Amino acid sequence: MRTQLILTTAVLGVAGSLGASAQVYSVNAVGYINVSVPAGKLALVANQLNAGGNKISEVLAPSGDVTVYTYAAGAFTLNAFSFGEWANPNQVVGPGTAFFIKNEGATDMTLTFVGEVPQGNLTTALGANLNLTASQVPQAGKLVTDLGFPVAEDDTVYKWDVAGQTYTLNAYSFGEWGAGEPTVGVGEGFWVQKTAAASWTRTFSVN
């Protein structure tokens, strides 16, 4: 899976009825993320940009047929894109939402997420037991050191190997990771088995 992020910061000054000496500034970081999904295979991806109401029809416009699998409350929900439209176009997949996506076609596909980078105080709720999750921020790095993940004793992270179509696991016990601190890429989701509920919080700004 290859990812790419390009950020553009736009500063807009608004005057007019406010008077010549009054200005309002809005700083928005807009970008895109490209994720490659091989033909006939599953990839574990994440949306990390805000687009409209974050409906899947606003977030993703695949170039071919795909099936998306989201996970919540111990069960999967699927949503198919076929004949140019989503079966459930109103499904919400906001920043930090991770999901499996299967390329149903015979050729490799590049998915493109376009939108605004989340900023400010960001919180992702993590329940006890299994969570399919991702960073809300489109930033690659070490899970705890760079991305502020709230690791606890006996947590286990499962990453998806797209090429092998299998999992690699990494457990945190006795205060250290069994295979070194896991890293995640931009646009990448993962599973975590949590021993207790927690909140993944960050304060993020592109400036």
Tokens of 83: 């004949």
From residue 97, alpha-carbon distances to 25, 177, 180 in Å are 30, 24, 25
| Residue 188: strand pairing partners | 45
Model confidence pLDDT, tens digit, residues 172-196: 999 999 999 999 999 999 999 999 9
Residue 200: which of 143, 138, 129 has the closest Cα? 143
Residue predicted with more confidence, 113 or 3 = 113
Of the residues 115, 139, 165, which one is the last residue of a structural domain? 115
Condensed to tens digits (0 to 9), the pLDDT of residues 50-103 reads: 999 999 999 999 999 999 999 998 999 999 999 999 999 999 999 999 999 999
Do residue 52 and residue 107 come from a single domain? yes
Which residue has tokens 């500063």? 11
Whether 96 and 167 share a structural domain: no
Average pLDDT across the chain, whole number: 88
pLDDT band at 27 (very low <50, low <70, confident <90, very high): low
Domain membership flag for residue 1: no
For residues 125 and 56, state if they share a domain.
no
Single residue among 54, 82, 115 that ends a domain in this structure? 115
pLDDT in the model for residue 204: 93
Domain that holds residue 54: 36-115
User: Shortest CA distance to 192 belongs to which of 172, 164, 162, 173?
Assistant: 172
The predicted-structure confidence for 91-115, as pLDDT tens digits, reads as follows 999 999 999 999 999 999 999 999 9
